[in-house]
Amino acid sequence: MLQPSWKVNEIFYSIQGEGKHTGMPAVFVRLAGCSMNCPFCDTKYAAREGNQTDGPTLLQELSAWPAKAVIITGGEPSEQDLPALIALLKDAGYQVHLETNGSIDTDVSRADFICVSPKKYVSSEMLKKADVIKIVVGQDTDLKDLEKYYAYENAKTQIYLQPESNKQENIDLCVKLLKNHPSARLSLQTHKLANIR
């Protein structure tokens, strides 16, 4: 049987810089490819470039670091065989966190933590599966969409507002929005502020 493999842009060991698990050391597996093409994307380099990597090679690379937490990110991970990747990592004993735009409803039931960051379109099924809905807020954000996402807030699902590119005007906008919706939280990209790779 053909073994699954994934087009991987990069694998690196760092610190989670944003959201609920800010400060957590983890290995990042950045999958290549995303068809969304957001103008503010800060990982455009991952849109196409990557090396096809099979499971044993991936696990061998991960074993170089002591952390047992892996953050699958992209690109957009759900554009590849994400359930098989999550299964590979879980079977190898890793805690698996997922960062996705939620555009494709896929089986992520074995992931330990799911962060959905909606962009041009998002699956309502994926919003229901999210532990965190992270909304990137900039001057062009349609604020009517916030109400739509707030509807998915519950005991399991926390909303985070993240200022686009840490720009001051976007931070100010987030603070204003949060004061009107105090159950949400602010997420800053602290890795950029602290110059952490």
Given the rule CB under 6 A, which residues bind ligand SF4? 34, 36-38, 41, 43, 74-76, 101, 119
Please report, for the chain, how many H helices and E strands are present, in that order: 6, 9
Which CB sits closer to ligand SF4, 101 or 187?
Answer: 101
CB of 37 to ligand SF4, least distance (A): 5
Query: What does the block give as tokens for 155?
Result: 């005991």
Which CB sits closer to ligand SF4, 167 or 176?
Answer: 167
Residue 73, phi then psi, degrees to nearest 5: -140, -170
Mark 41-69 as b/e (b = at least 16 C-beta within 10 Å): eebeebbeebeebebeebeeebeebebeb
CB of 1 to ligand SF4, least distance (A): 31
Which CB sits closer to ligand SF4, 60 or 165?
Answer: 165
Which CB sits closer to ligand SF4, 19 or 74?
Answer: 74
Say if residues 186 and 159 touch (Cβ distance below 8 Å).
Answer: no
CB of 41 to ligand SF4, least distance (A): 3
How is the beta sheet containing 5-15 ordered, strand by strand?
A: 51-54, 5-15, 25-31, 69-73, 95-100, 113-116, 132-137, 158-163, 185-186
Say if residues 114 and 108 touch (Cβ distance below 8 Å).
Answer: yes
Tokens 């490819």, residue?
33
Which CB sits closer to ligand SF4, 55 or 76?
Answer: 76
CB of 156 to ligand SF4, least distance (A): 23
CB of 64 to ligand SF4, least distance (A): 25
